[in-house]
Every structure is written in C-alpha cells, then in structure tokens.
Amino acid sequence: MSLRRQLAELLVLRCSGHLLDQQRRYPQWEASNAELQHWLAEGVGGVILLGGSAAELALRCRQLQQWASTPLLLCADVEEGVGQRFEGASWLVPPLALGGVHQHNPTAAIELARAYGRCTGMEALALGLNWVLGPVCDVNNNPANPVINVRAWGETSESAAALSRAFTEGLQGSGVLGCAKHFPGHGDTASDSHLELPLIPHNLTRLNAVELPPFKAAIDAGVASVMTAHLLLPALDPKRPATLSPAVLEQLLRKELGFSALVVTDALVMEAISSRYGAGEAAALAFEAGADLILMPADAGAALDALEAGFRSGRFSSARLEQSLHRRRAALARTTPSPSTAQEGLDQLAAMTAEHSGLSHQLLERSLECQGQGPPAGPGLNLIRVDKSLNCPALPLQAPALIRPAQLGFTPRLIDDLAGPLKLRSLGDGPVLLQLLVRGNPFRGSADGGNPWQRLVGELLEQQRLAGLAVYGSPYLWRELSALLPQNIPAAYSPGQMPAAQELVLQAMGLGTCASDNGFTD
C-alpha cells in the first residue's frame, strides 16, 4: 500500500445523509458524490454524516461502504439519540436533563444514562453507523457557555463523570464505538470554538479536579476514542490550541491519563483552527501533536499533501503512522457488523423505536418542571422564539407548540435572532403566551438566544399580558425567568425541544392534563 493511501485512511470527511447532491444543506462542507467516490477510492477511511431521514441514512451508509476501498468508520453527532439528526429514529432529551436527575437520584440517573447509550448504539448500528461522537464529557459549569450547554451530562464533575461512564457502557455494549469529547474540557468557556479560539485560564490542578474526571471515567469504561478541543490552555501550551498541542495530547492524554486508543481532532474547518492555520499545516500539526484521525480538514487534498511531505522530509516517522493505522483498525475490529441490507436495518429500527418510546417518555417526564396555574387565558398571541424560523426541526406543521395554543385562540408568531431586538409595542394588544426554544448550539455565539427575555417578561407582567411561559432547552434561562413569575401564571420547562417535549410542557400548563411532576421525589 502506498504511503498516500495509508495516510488517506486517517482522514474523516463530511457528507450529507441525503442521497443526491442537490439535497445537500451545507455544500461548503459536504463533499459531492463525485468527490466522495474519488476520495473513498483513494483510501479515505472515515465519513461523518449529517442530514436526511433514517431511511436515507440506511441507504447512504451502505452506498459509502460500496464506494470505499477500505472498511469505513461511519460516524455522526447523535448526542441526543439518532433521531436528533435523522428523522424516524429516537430523539431523546439532551444529556443535561439527566445531570439534574443525578443530583436527586443518582442510581436512577445512571441506569437511564446506560439505557440512553444502549438506545443510541442499537439504532445507530441498525442504520449502518459504527461510531457515535459522544459522550460529551465537558462539565457545563459556565451558564454563559454558548455551545456546550444542554449537550453536557452534568454541571458538576461528579454527575458528568458518572453519567458519561454509564452512557459509554451502554453505547459500546451495543457494538458501536464511542468518543469522549471535547478534551480536555470545553465546559467553562463563554465563547464557541466554531467561531473563535476560547481560552481556558486554569492550571493542571484545577483541570484534574473539575474538567478531567469525566474523561477519566469514560477512559476507564473503555471508550474507543477521544476528540480534541480547539482551546488554548496557556498553563499547558501557551502557543498552540489543544488539538495541535503535544503537551495536551501526548503528555496529558497519552502519558498521564494512559489513553492508548484513537485520538480524533474536532472538525478542522472550525474557525478556531481554520482562521489561524492553512488546511495542510493544520492537519500536519494535529498529527504531529498526537492525533490519529483528521476530522473534516478544510481541504482534503492539501491535508494529504502536507502529511505526505512530512513523511518524505523526515518530520514524521513510519512507526508513528503504523501506530495510528493500528489504532484505527483495532477500533474497527471492535464493532459489530450492521445488517447487510438497508431494509433489514430499517425493519430492526421500527421494532427498536417502539421499544425505546418508553425510555424517551420517561426521560421527558423526569426532567419536566412546572409551576403556576392554568390554562392560559386566550385568545391572544402565541409568540415562539426559535433559532431559525425557516428551518426549525422541532416545529413541524403539526407541532404541539403551534396546534395546542391555537385551540385556545392563540395566533402563532415565530421570531428568531435575525429579527433584531424585540419591542413590546410590536406585539399588539392582548394576552401573550411566550414559548422560548433556546439552548446552546454551535455557531450561536450566545447562550440566551440574543434577546432580553427578562425585560420582556417583566414588561408583560407589568401590563398583565403574560398568559403563560414555556421554556424548551436552557435550564439557565428557565431558572432566571421562572423566578419572576407569580403563582397565577402557568409555566413549564423541558430540556428537550422536540414535539414530544412540547406536548408534555403544554399539558403541564393546562393545555391538556398534566402528565407528571419533575420525578425528583422517587
């Protein structure tokens, strides 16, 4: 095998889960089918998928394997169950929901996290994925964190460690690989590495006490891979981000934590890296620092050229390449083969989702919080805040957040960050039912949705126009706003944003029968 073909095994490229080029949602990052066929024939060893239905994913994974000249690592960011990214599979509440349960009932939370991992792994495997990019081991101890937020398993090291370990056990027990991310911890930041390079001011003593325990727990559970973070930690390396730092990857992760399996970079197209380094040099520096797999290089050809030049010049040794190739192949050997046909996998998925619906509902019930009295008095305005009003997977046409209030005469109006500052006079007269879908997400840049909701709620209360409040996603926004409400205002919260979460929240507010309390008393 040529040197270039061996190096190609270390690249993980992004592609759409949709089958046709014209269906790609992010063509600037997602390779076309012609490009995919070229690179897979050249020996590229991994693909990360996003978008499409579960049925399309099942077809896509098998198509990619047919195009490939080597067994593939096929992965996805399905941190909240496969249905988070691929419609038709199970979409579970965000992991931070179980962090809250863990504070009151650790035993129940750990069992639920293990079941969460098992559900994710079984459905991923049925559709053709063999690598899940989770658990998120970051400790979300900074409420202003715009990108981790509800993706974390806890706000404390103890919760995040216990639940990350349980999730890993359940996931990998299903026959797929896990990935602990984002090493050495992206939780205590107020900036997003998709947009800029965050700085972590902590020393190694603090890292060992707070940030590292969840990674240690996942490593102890046998996690198959660790993903790097695009962060600057001056106490360990004042010059290079963790992804490109031998001090972080070789010294801290390999030697001090004893991790011997796969190390994968976070996506190298993210601004924290791509705005500072060329595509080729970023790949070479990551490999030099100790990464085995290069995820989403900004230019696959440039990445391969730089890696090849590094070996030709003596910058890298053949022994180093053999280590990475061995780790990749050993990881693949740990996986269980997916069903041979897409139809067989979809038949398995249909049975699984029916079985997993109970888990999904239990997770929603346990993380539900409600207060006040209902139902909201209408008619009036149903004001719904979303990230993007033209593309919101949580709000299909029959979403409960739209339909249930309409039955009481509330007219829906969607707003997003692009609408600019929201002013009360723009809402007309009459009662306002306020529903906020706000959570940390990549490329957001803000943890609170970018609008002064505390001011708006105060003004609505002052004019006696607030009919009710529903918050989906951020527990921090819920804690801030619910504290302002008198007992005569119905309000409820769910960390989930999917239609099932909306149904439960609105039932709790009196638009139906309240199905549960927060589950913390058992």
Active site residues: 194, 266
CB 262 within 8 A of CB 326: no
CA angle 170, 176, 180 (to 5 degrees): 70
Amino acid type, 202: H
Amino acid type, 423: K
Residue 427 CB contacts under 8 Å (≥ 6 apart), including other chains: 381, 383
- Residue in this structure with the two tokens 């040529």, named with its chain if needed: 2
- Measure the CA–CA gap between 113 and 121, rounded to whole angstroms: 12
Amino acid type, 18: H
Residue 219 CB contacts under 8 Å (≥ 6 apart), including other chains: 180, 226, 257, 258, 259
- Measure the CA–CA gap between 492 and 374, rounded to whole angstroms: 11
Q: Which runs of E-coded beta strand occur in 133-255?
A: 180-183, 225-228
- Measure the CA–CA gap between 85 and 53, rounded to whole angstroms: 8
Q: By three-state DSSP, how is residue 271 classified?
A: helix
In the 8-state DSSP scheme, what is residue 376? P
Residue 335, number of CB atoms within 10 A of its CB: 19
- Measure the CA–CA gap between 472 and 468, rounded to whole angstroms: 13
CA angle 443, 447, 448 (to 5 degrees): 120
Q: How many CA atoms lie within 13 A of 274 on its CB side?
A: 18
Q: By three-state DSSP, how is residue 467 classified?
A: strand
Residue 181 CB contacts under 8 Å (≥ 6 apart), including other chains: 133, 134, 135, 136, 137, 138, 226, 227, 228, 229, 266
Largest CA distance in the chain: 74
Tell me if the bond preceding 431 is cis, omega within 30° of 0.
Answer: no
Q: Which two tokens stand for residue 348?
A: 């398995």
CA 189 remoteness from chain centre: 16
- Measure the CA–CA gap between 17 and 493, rounded to whole angstroms: 32
- Residue in this structure with the two tokens 């249909």, named with its chain if needed: 350
